[in-house]
């Protein structure tokens, strides 16, 4: 039996991602590398590759954070 549901695994992956120092979560390469680490540690069922799924979660967060930063900078400049 799997320890976590898919949603619990996503929540835990993102919690651990944000626990990293900001300098360790700046690039897509860092997200991919951290996903490799998490795929071994998180026990959940998926029909696809754990690595690809966890990478997608982390890259989505990274992309969203970058977008929010750009929007904040534009708001300050306006």
68 within a domain of the structure (yes/no): yes
pLDDT recorded at residue 58: 98
71 within a domain of the structure (yes/no): yes
Q: Where are the beta strands (DSSP E) in the chain?
A: none
Q: Residue 61: which of 8, 6, 30, 42 has the closest Cα? A: 30
Rounded CA separation 20/35 (Å) = 13
Average of pLDDT values for 40-69? 95
Residue 78 has pLDDT above 80, yes or no: no
Domain count, the chain: 1
Q: 54-64: per-residue pLDDT in tens?
A: 999 999 999 99
Q: Residue 14: which of 71, 66, 53, 70 has the closest Cα? A: 53
1 within a domain of the structure (yes/no): no
The model scores a pTM over 0.75: yes
pLDDT recorded at residue 9: 98
Please say whether the dihedral angle defined by the alpha carbons of residues 33, 22, 69 and 54, taken in this order, is positive or negative: positive
- The domain of 24 spans 6-77
């Amino acid at each position: 039996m799997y320890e976590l549901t898919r949603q619990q695994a996503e929540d835990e992956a993102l919690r651990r991602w944000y626990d990293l120092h900001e300098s360790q979560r700046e690039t897509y390469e860092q997200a991919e590398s951290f996903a490799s680490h998490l795929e071994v540690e998180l026990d959940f069922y998926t029909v696809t590759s754990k690595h690809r799924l966890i990478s997608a979660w982390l890259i989505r967060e990274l992309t969203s954070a970058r977008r929010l930063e750009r929007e904040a900078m534009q708001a300050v400049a306006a």
